[in-house]
Amino acid sequence: MLERYIEKNIFRQAYLCQQLYQKKEITLQTMAERLNVCTITINNDLDVLKESFEQEIIAFERTRNSCRVSFDPAYPLLELTQRIYRRSDFLRVLNDFLIGNTHWSEIAEKEFLSTSKIYQIRANIFAFAEELGYLQKDHQVKLPEKDLRYLFLAITRYTGDRSAIPFNKMIASAAEKLIDYVEDHFFCS
């Protein structure tokens, strides 16, 4: 469900990166059809990937109909896709919002986003919360602890950014209680 709110260009680039990493070669028309865009868009996304992974790409060959890429195997696919997802304004702002920063102008300044962009992302966050059933009538988002943890884990999985988890005292406290419980009940001498 979160995928529907991530910027389309970010999602496409991560998908193309995965396909190229696993298959080594893609057909531009096939990718355009799968992603419901034109081949020019695919070519633009490939240009961004080539520029972004200049150090990680060993060979890059593009013809009119296909693209062949060899990545350095020292770089795992997860690391590459996480770098792509870190550029997602939606994921970064959602992360800030879940930490408890609801001052949109501060988030905009921190993330170098325009006022219109931050309010567009805010609307997407509220639409996401409403889709989950957690948007209250007063436009407050009330997430159960379990779902909040899942969202933090999802953001961490996408971006590799673990910074939000330690700052959330509720989660840190619950994690400490769980560790204490497991140690007391399963690792007693």
Query: What domains appear along the chain, each with residue ranges and CATH number?
Result: 2-85 (1.10.10), 89-184 (no CATH)
More reliable by pLDDT, 72 or 178? 72
Q: 147-159: string of b/e by CB count within 10 Å (b at 16+)? A: ebbebbeebbebb
Q: Check pLDDT > 80 for residue 20.
A: yes
Report, as an integer, the average pLDDT of 13-21. Answer: 98
CA distance 135 to 43: 39
pLDDT tens-place string over residues 92-124:
999 999 988 889 999 999 999 999 999 999 999
CA distance 111 to 102: 14
Phi and psi at residue 188, in whole multiples of 5°? -80, 150
How high is the pLDDT of residue 187? 62
pLDDT tens-place string over residues 23-61:
999 999 999 999 999 999 999 999 999 999 999 999 999
How high is the pLDDT of residue 168? 59
Report, as an integer, the average pLDDT of 67-93. Answer: 97
Strand partners, 62: 67
More reliable by pLDDT, 120 or 139? 120
pLDDT tens-place string over residues 149-172:
889 989 999 999 877 665 556 666
User: How many helices (H) does the chain have, and how many strands (E)?
Assistant: 10, 3
CA distance 92 to 57: 26
More reliable by pLDDT, 164 or 18? 18
Instruction: Read off the DSSP letter of residue 135.
Output: B
Strand partners, 66: 27
Query: 108 near 118, Cβ under 8 Å?
Result: yes
Predicted structure pTM score: 0.83
How high is the pLDDT of residue 96? 92
